Chains A and B, each alone.
Chain A
């Protein structure tokens, strides 16, 4: 059975801090790892990672994948209160169909 574990479960930081979120996985036929931000109901897409060691960046967010050690990290620098959300990690199989297996999420609270 595919398994995705995120850590920490939650964290509280102050504006300007840097946070690092972890995602480890055990899946058969790995194809991609995706990060989502969930503020209310619908997850919004952040990154899709398929290759090891290639950092993806979008503004203050960045992410990298290690396919040998089976984990990914999501970094947020210079955090803002708008970064407060649940961050979800999901992995997809190699076969077409793109069924995703999600981790339990990390809840981030950024205080002013």
Chain B
């Protein structure tokens, strides 16, 4: 069964450094998402991406964040200058276009980002 993959599984970085989290969505999917979960808190929406542009972003997704689909398979989340409060589990998700039965988002296993 096709699945969303994410690399790395765990990333440790120093405050102020740039990080890139990588995701490979399911191949025929057209909508892509990033969510994050700070330890002990809710899973929070960051951004959705469709047709090579951001379709929606949350207040969390400020100028320090960016997303890119550099080729036909990868979907990346970049944090330009990490802060301690960026430490979280980051989930990538994807889904097919359309509504109804195709509304399911498929999630990757997550990347745990630790900022020291």
Q: Do A and B come from one complex?
A: no
A interface residue numbers (CB < 8 A to B)? none
